[in-house]
């Protein structure tokens, strides 16, 4: 297969679950006096189910990212996360989300290093010439530390929301075991890891340097990652927000191991791993900034080098409370937030129409709707949340949907018209604002 080939997938269709229909009815009342915002919400909230979700005959669920016919572990979780609060009393949502988790565990057991997968072993790939240990199940094999975290957290969240434990089957137990084993190997990437990745004739951010091994790192206790959540290569391979996500997810996995699988030895093993990563974050991931005080770095190599920035995708430094690592009140997080929402962050842009965080994944001056949604979800005040919502409402380019990046001076110039993750994050933000009755004034 040649690079960028985008095969079609027949997703089929099914009625919207009752819980989703009820939310749309609630929005009709809450947003009645804001017709454009209501239209955006009614388009975006069911978008994952209407355009990207396939219920498989084996009881699993396959969720494409939108304009690419493959399922990302990370994206597929974020595409359905906004449905979780309605799953307790909705059997259909339990089937959809539970089926997604089962399929994610199947994929993790196929290849824990891969970030995106095919519906079947059809040998479709983003680039057929990638130099790595490919499988016909794998669409792309960029090792992104956050990828496995998302399915584990989704399973934990579904359990806490519904009380149901049927998702914790033998495949889930094996995937947990394989995940921890991989993380321990990648603590010592240069000495122990079998993973390499090279892509020829591509932008530098699409491949790993040093013959596919990545730049050298020092042992820190943290876990190595080849690529960022944007699918771009790391500059320094200890990505701090991704390691924070691992810490948060390890706490949740310990609960699953203790109360579902009754495996105290595994709990102790994960406790030790959590402590090692946390120590590395505190020792290597905190920087004394002359202007902002102590802030979290975005990446480090353990040799004293680091990059100070934030990227639009999750996990990001902006998303630290959302990930569950710490709270919004954490003073280092607040210092970091001030930094990343300023022009001192090389990927923060201000234009005539919008301001916010972009990414090296897109051109300069492109603000991402994902980053705006995350800014609103982690805002310290209702005023900041509403400011972000108003900005997002004004920057859909009259398409009725959210996008990836858009030009801060002209929202009609944008990337990815069909990006379900962005629609879902926007929906989560609007629902949170409705819960706070912020549209009643």
Residue-by-residue pLDDT tens, the chain, 441 positions: 234 455 667 788 889 999 999 999 999 999 999 999 999 999 999 999 999 999 999 999 999 999 899 999 999 999 999 999 999 999 999 999 999 999 999 999 999 999 999 999 999 999 999 999 999 999 999 999 999 999 999 999 999 999 999 999 999 999 999 999 999 999 999 999 999 999 999 999 999 999 999 999 999 999 999 999 999 999 999 999 999 999 999 999 999 999 999 999 999 999 999 999 999 999 999 999 999 999 999 999 999 999 999 999 999 999 999 999 999 999 999 999 999 999 999 999 999 999 999 999 999 999 999 999 999 999 999 999 999 999 999 999 999 999 999 999 999 999 999 999 999 999 999 999 999 999 986
Q: Are residues 262 and 364 in the same domain?
A: no
Q: For residue 12, is it within any domain?
A: no
Q: For residue 128, is it within any domain?
A: yes
169's tokens: 């089957």
Residue 102, domain CATH: 1.50.10.10
Q: For residue 15, is it within any domain?
A: no
Q: Are residues 340 and 354 in the same domain?
A: no
Q: Are residues 340 and 351 in the same domain?
A: no
Q: Are residues 388 and 338 in the same domain?
A: no
Q: For residue 6, is it within any domain?
A: no
Q: For residue 19, is it within any domain?
A: no
| Per-position DSSP letters for 57-105, written without gaps between them | TTS-EEE--BSSSSEEHHHHHHHHGGGGGG-TT-HHHHHHHHHHHHHHH
Q: What is the pLDDT of residues 220-235, one digit of tens each?
A: 999 999 999 999 999 9
Q: Are residues 199 and 165 in the same domain?
A: yes
Q: Are residues 374 and 298 in the same domain?
A: no
What single DSSP character describes residue 321? H
CA distance 283 to 302: 9
Which of 346, 381, 416 corresponds to the end of one domain? 346
Residue 1 has a pLDDT of 28
Q: For residue 107, is it within any domain?
A: yes
Q: For residue 49, is it within any domain?
A: yes
Q: Distance of CA 440 to CAs 37, 44, 337, 376, Å?
A: 14, 21, 29, 18
Residue 156 has a pLDDT of 98
Q: Are residues 404 and 273 in the same domain?
A: no
Q: Are residues 207 and 334 in the same domain?
A: yes
Domain that holds residue 387: 24-55+347-441
Q: For residue 5, is it within any domain?
A: no
Residue 266 has a pLDDT of 98
Residue 414 has a pLDDT of 97
Q: Are residues 188 and 332 in the same domain?
A: yes
Residue 13 has a pLDDT of 84
CA distance 12 to 314: 29
Q: Are residues 314 and 435 in the same domain?
A: no
Which of 346, 376, 394 corresponds to the end of one domain? 346
Q: Distance of CA 136 to CAs 104, 118, 129, Å?
A: 16, 8, 13
Question: Total domain count for the chain?
Answer: 2
Residue 441 has a pLDDT of 65
CA distance 52 to 31: 26
Burial 266-303 (b: 16+ CB within 10 A, else e): bbebbeebbebbbebbeebbbbebeebeebbbbbbbbe
**What is the dihedral angle through the alpha carbons of 109, 193, 144, 148, rounded to the nearest 10 degrees?**
30
Q: Are residues 357 and 392 in the same domain?
A: yes
Which of 295, 318, 346 corresponds to the end of one domain? 346
Q: How far apart are the first and last CA of the chain?
A: 55
| Alpha carbon 35 to chain centroid, angstroms | 30
Q: Are residues 198 and 306 in the same domain?
A: yes
């Amino acid at each position: 297969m040649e690079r960028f080939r985008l095969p079609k997938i027949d997703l089929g269709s099914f009625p919207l679950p009752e819980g989703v229909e009820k939310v749309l009815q609630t929005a009709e009342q809450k947003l009645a006096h804001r017709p454009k915002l209501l239209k955006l919400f009614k388009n975006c909230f069911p978008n994952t189910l209407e355009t990207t979700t396939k219920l498989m005959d084996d009881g699993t669920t396959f969720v494409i990212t939108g304009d690419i016919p493959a399922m990302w572990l990370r994206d597929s979780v974020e595409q359905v996360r906004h449905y979780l609060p309605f799953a307790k009393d909705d059997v259909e949502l339990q089937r959809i989300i539970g089926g997604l988790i089962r399929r994610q565990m199947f994929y993790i057991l196929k290849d824990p290093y891969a970030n995106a997968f095919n519906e079947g072993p059809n040998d479709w790939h983003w680039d057929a010439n990638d130099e790595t240990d490919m499988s016909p199940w794998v669409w792309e094999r960029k090792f992104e530390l956050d990828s496995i975290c998302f399915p584990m957290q989704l399973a934990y969240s579904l359990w806490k929301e519904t009380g149901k434990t049927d998702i914790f089957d033998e495949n889930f137990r094996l995937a947990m075991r394989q995940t921890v084993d991989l993380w321990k190997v990648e603590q010592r990437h240069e000495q122990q890891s079998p993973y390499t990745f090279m892509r020829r004739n591509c932008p530098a951010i699409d491949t790993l340097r040093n013959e596919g091994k990545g730049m050298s790192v020092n042992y820190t206790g943290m876990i190595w990652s080849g690529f960022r959540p944007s699918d771009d290569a790391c500059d320094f391979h200890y990505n701090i927000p991704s390691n924070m996500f691992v810490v948060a997810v390890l706490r949740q996995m310990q609960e699953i191991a203790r109360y579902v699988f009754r495996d105290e030895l595994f709990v102790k093993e994960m406790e030790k791993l959590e402590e090692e990563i946390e120590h590395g974050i505190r020792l290597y991931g905190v920087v004394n900034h002359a202007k902002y005080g102590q802030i979290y770095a975005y990446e480090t190599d353990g040799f004293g080098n680091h990059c100070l920035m934030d990227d639009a995708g999750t996990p990001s430094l902006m998303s630290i409370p959302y990930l569950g690592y710490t709270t919004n009140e954490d003073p280092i997080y607040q210092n970091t937030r001030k930094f990343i929402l300023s022009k001192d962050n090389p990927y923060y842009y201000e234009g005539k129409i919008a301001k916010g965080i972009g990414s090296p994944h897109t051109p300069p001056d492109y603000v991402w709707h994902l980053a705006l949604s995350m800014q609103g979800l982690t805002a310290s005040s209702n005023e900041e949340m509403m400011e972000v919502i108003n900005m997002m409402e004004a920057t859909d380019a009259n398409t009725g949907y959210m996008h990836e990046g858009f030009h801060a001076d002209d929202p009609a110039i944008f990337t990815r018209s069909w990006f379900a993750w962005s629609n879902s994050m926007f929906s989560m933000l609007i629902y949170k604002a409705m819960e706070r009755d912020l549209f009643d004034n």
